Amino acid sequence: MGITFRKETFRDDFTFKNSPEHIRRFPFPFNEDAYMYAVNIEPHVVGPKGSVLENLIDVDEHYVAEMQDRALVLAEDPLRCQSLPHMTLAGWDLLELLMEQQALGYPEHFTLERNGDRWRWINRPLGIDDTFTFGDTSTLPYGPMEYITRQSQGDFCILDQRDGNLWMDAGMVTTQADWSLDFDIGMNFFEWHAPVPLAHEKGIFTRALKFLTNIQQGKPARRLNWTMTINPRLDTSPENYHKWGPDRATVTPENVGDKVHLRVELQSFWRLPRSNGIVFPIRCYLIKMDELVTQPKWARRLHRVIRDLPEELATYKGLTRYRPTLVDWLSKLDDGSPTSPGFGPD
The site for other proteins (CB under 8 A) is made up of 43, 84-87, 89, 96, 135, 160-163, 210, 214, 216-219, 221, 273-276
* 4 vs 138 by CB, closer to other proteins: 138
Residues paired with residue 83 on neighbouring β-strands, in sequence order: 170
Q: Minimum CB separation from other proteins for residue 189, in Å?
A: 15
Residue 283 contacts residue 58 (beta carbons within 8 Å): yes
Q: How far is the CB of 128 from other proteins (least distance, A)?
A: 24
Q: How many CB atoms lie within 10 A of CB 292?
A: 22
223 is catalytic: yes
What are the angstrom distances between the C-alpha of 108 and each of 2, 21, 111, 153, 213? 6, 20, 8, 17, 36
Q: Shortest Cβ distance from residue 42 to other proteins (Å)?
A: 8
Is the CB of 276 or the CB of 331 nearer to other proteins? 276
Output the 3-class SS for 167-232. Answer: EEEEEECCCCECCCHHHHCCCEHHHHCCCCCCCCCCCHHHHHHHHHHCCECCECEEEEEEEEEECC
Strands of the 165-172 sheet, one edge to the other = 42-43, 221-230, 260-271, 278-288, 155-162, 165-172, 81-83
Q: What is the closest distance, in whole angstroms, from the C-beta atom of residue 100 to other proteins in the complex? A: 11
Minimal distance, residue 217 CB to other proteins, in Å = 5
Nearer to other proteins, 111 or 276 (CB): 276
Active-site pick, 6, 25, 207, 223:
223
Residue 290 near residue 340 (C-beta atoms within 8 A): no
Shortest Å, Cβ 59 to other proteins? 24
Nearest CA to 145 out of 83, 57, 189, 199 is that of 83
CA pseudo-torsion sign 72, 123, 180, 57: positive
Q: Given the complex with other proteins, which of 52 and 89 has the nearer CB atom? A: 89
Identity of the amino acid at 199: A
Half-sphere exposure of 160 (CA within 13 A, CB side): 18
Largest CA distance in the chain: 62
Give, in degrees to the nearest 5, the angle at Cα 198 between 197 and 202. 140
Q: CA 213 → CA 65, 205, 288, distances in Å?
A: 34, 12, 36
Q: Which among 273, 284, 278 has a CA at the least distance from the CA of 235?
A: 284
Distance of closest approach, residue 211 Cβ to other proteins, in angstroms:
8
CB nearer other proteins, residue 28 or residue 92: 92
Q: Which CB atom, from 151 or from 188, has the smaller least distance to other proteins? A: 188
Q: 45 or 249, CB closer to other proteins?
A: 45
Residues marked active site are found at: 223
